[in-house]
Structure 1
Amino acid sequence: MTIARSSDRPLNWPIILFMVAIHFGALFALLPSNFSWSAIGMAFILYFITGCLGITLGWHRLISHRSFRVPQWLEYFFLFCGSLSCQSGAIEWIGLHRHHHAFSDQEADHHNSGRGFWWSHMGWLLHDVPAKSEIRKFTKDINTDPVYILIDKYFLVLQIALGALLYALGGWPFVVWGIFVRLVVVYHFTWFVNSATHKFGYRTYDSGDRSTNCWWVALCTFGEGWHNNHHAYQYSARHGLQWWEIDVTWMIIRGLQSVGLADKVKLVKQEANLVKQ
């Protein structure tokens, strides 16, 4: 399979214009009329719901890697939470993530960190992504599920509906902080996992790529920053493997397990098969 260099890939203008609009909208938070502690609080709540429960726990550890199992209704709830992060449809996101793990930091990897920080952070998003042609191959377990198909198709409509609800609750400050600022924060924190945790931090395992463990990314992303651990043991529901590697998402999974809402939790049992750095 021939992969075009970034400079050869056509620009994806709908994505570029969308990203410009979201970042521009976040600047309205600087207006005094849009300052509101309740709006900031709402943004933080939505940041947790969409970034932690949705992307980190739901789309990533639960669905992409099947690190644990929950009842179907709860899986759909986490799927819905992730859709409110507005990071494309769930099937596309999950397919591209699985593709990334199959080719991590190789030429076929759509956010190959070998192309530089900007490319792996968000530059790749602004171009056509050849890996999208393989999404169906990487999502055979979910791409015929009617709930996944529905949420994948209408994720942008759900974001607009959320914006309308926020406007009804608190006017424009709620929209500016709860939609625009929150999306910018969740976007860049998610992208740091693709960029910063392939450049900064320490390596515990020889995972066959450039992945690192980066404490400040872990802090921002509820434990996703222990990325070298994750690439070494992709199946593990726990990413922070050392006592000092705080993993909030793992704490939530343990909580779900303790009340009977999570089972078949996959964990690292031994480390002899990997070479420590």
Structure 2
Amino acid sequence: MTIATSTKPTLNWVNIAFFAVLHIGALLALIPGTFNWRAVGVAFFLYWVTGGLGITLGFHRLVTHRSFQTPKWLEYFLAFCGTLACQGGPFEWIGMHRIHHLHSDQDLDPHDSNKGFWWSHLGWMIHHAPAQDELSRYIKDISDDPVYQFYQKNMIGIQVALGVLLLLLGGWPFVIWGIFVRVVVVYHCTWLVNSATHKFGYRSHESGDNSTNCWWVALLVFGEGWHNNHHAFQYSARHGLRWWEFDLTWLTIRLLQTLGLATNVKLAPVPVKQ
């Protein structure tokens, strides 16, 4: 069966409204009285917890690619942190990313970079993605897990619970910075992996797509910017293959390995490039 690609995609108004509310909420940080350094510190800490431990380490390298293994309790904790990033539940994030790798920069890639920077950064999420209808095929390893089912069904509720906790701890500045500002910053930094690292940077390997290694994205998202390396060796727990390609998430995996919490660590079958 041939899938038509010429039909104009329909807008996803639920996502549009959701993103609009979060971005408007982040703008509240500009109002006098909503800023304090404790709130900024909470935002930075949660940026690391949700973007670094949750999305990069948990959703991406651990669950999506199974580049290493951890005890189940730790996997669930990291997936919980990823759910707090509010980038869709684990089924959506992991399923879409697996589809992306299968069809990278082709018509069936949800965020095909050939459609432009804006499309791969955000546009694909504010339209109905045909790949959404195929998710069940790509998440069979987690779809029956009750913990992942709970995260998928309660993403908003989990975020609201965090918001209530922050309100009790530090008032509205904690909520504005720890929820709205943090979520929006994690969004755009994570989305740069779909957009900037398919446009800017250099290529070390022939990966069959437009993926690049982009140092400044790597710094923002804990090593994910070494994207051409990743697309060449998708299962590798280490993305920064040259000595100067700093990969904080790989260092975290090494720490877990030293503590006996990361096993079966998979690496690219090539010498680290100097």
Same fold (TM over 0.5): yes
- Deviations, residues 73-107 of structure 1 (Å, cap 9, x unaligned): 00000010000000001011100000000000001
Distance 1:155 1:176 in 2: 18
Deviations 1:21-78 (A, max 9, x none): 1001101111120011000000000000000000000000000000000000000000
The answer to whether residue 67 in structure 2 is matched with residue 106 in structure 1 is no
Distance in 2, Cα, partners of 1:20 & 1:162: 20
Aligned to 1:21: 21
Return 5+ residue gaps in structure 1 as ranges. Answer: none
Matches within 5 A, 1:167-182: 167-182=167-182
Whether contact under 8 Å (1:111, 1:120) holds in the other structure is yes
Partner of 1:195: 195
Residue identity matched to 1:2: I
What amino acid is the match of 1:131? A
Report how far residue 3 of structure 1 moved. 4.4
* CA 3–96 in structure 1, closer or farther in 2 if over 3 Å, else same: farther
In structure 2, C-alpha distance between the alignment counterparts of 1:3 and 1:66, rounded to whole Å: 33
CA RMSD of aligned residues (A): 1.1
SS in 1 for 2:33: helix
Change in CA separation of 1:84 and 1:3 when aligned onto 2, cut-off 3 Å:
farther
Name stretches of at least 5 consecutive residues in structure 2 with no aligned partner: none
Aligned ranges 1:83-232 → 2 under 5 Å: 83-232=83-232
Equivalent residue, structure 1, for 2:246: 246
The alpha-carbon deviation at position 9 of structure 1 amounts to 1.1
Q: Per the alignment, in what secondary structure is the counterpart of residue 8 of structure 1? A: coil
Name the counterpart of 1:77: 77
* Match in the other structure for 2:3: 2
Aligned length: 271
Rounded to whole Å, the distance in 1 between the matches of 2:218 and 2:152 is: 27
Q: Distance in 2 between matches of 1:43 and 1:130?
A: 34
1:33 alignment partner, SS class: coil
Cα distance in structure 2, aligned partners of 1:199 and 1:232: 16
Percent identical residues = 62
AA of the residue aligned to 1:69: Q
User: SS at the partner of 1:207?
Assistant: coil
Letter in 1 for 2:179: I
Could you tell me how far 1:270 is from its partner in structure 2?
2.2
Amino acid across the alignment from 1:44? F
Distance 2:160 2:5 in 1: 35
Bigger shift: residues 28-37 or 195-204:
28-37
TM-score, normalised to structure 1's length? 0.96
Counterpart of 1:134 in 2: which secondary structure?
helix
CA distance in 2, matches of 1:3, 1:208: 23
Runs of 4+ aligned structure 1 residues displaced above 3 Å come to none
Q: Matches of 1:101 and 1:260 in 2, distance apart?
A: 30
Alignment of 1:5-84 (within 5 A): 5=6, 8-84=8-84
CA contact 1:3–1:108 (8 Å) conserved in 2: no
Aligned partner of 1:154: which letter?
Answer: N
**Counterpart-to-counterpart distance in 1, 2:4 and 2:268:** 34
- How far apart in 2 are the matches of 1:15 and 1:4? 22
> How high is the TM-score relative to the length of structure 2?
0.97
CA drift of 1:132 comes to 1.0
The 2-side partners of 1:181 and 1:92 are apart by 23
Partners of 1:133 and 1:26 lie apart in 2 by: 31
Q: Which amino acid aligns with 1:200?
A: F
Amino acid at match of 2:191: W
Shift of residue 140 of structure 1? 0.8
User: Secondary structure of the equivalent of 1:183?
Assistant: helix
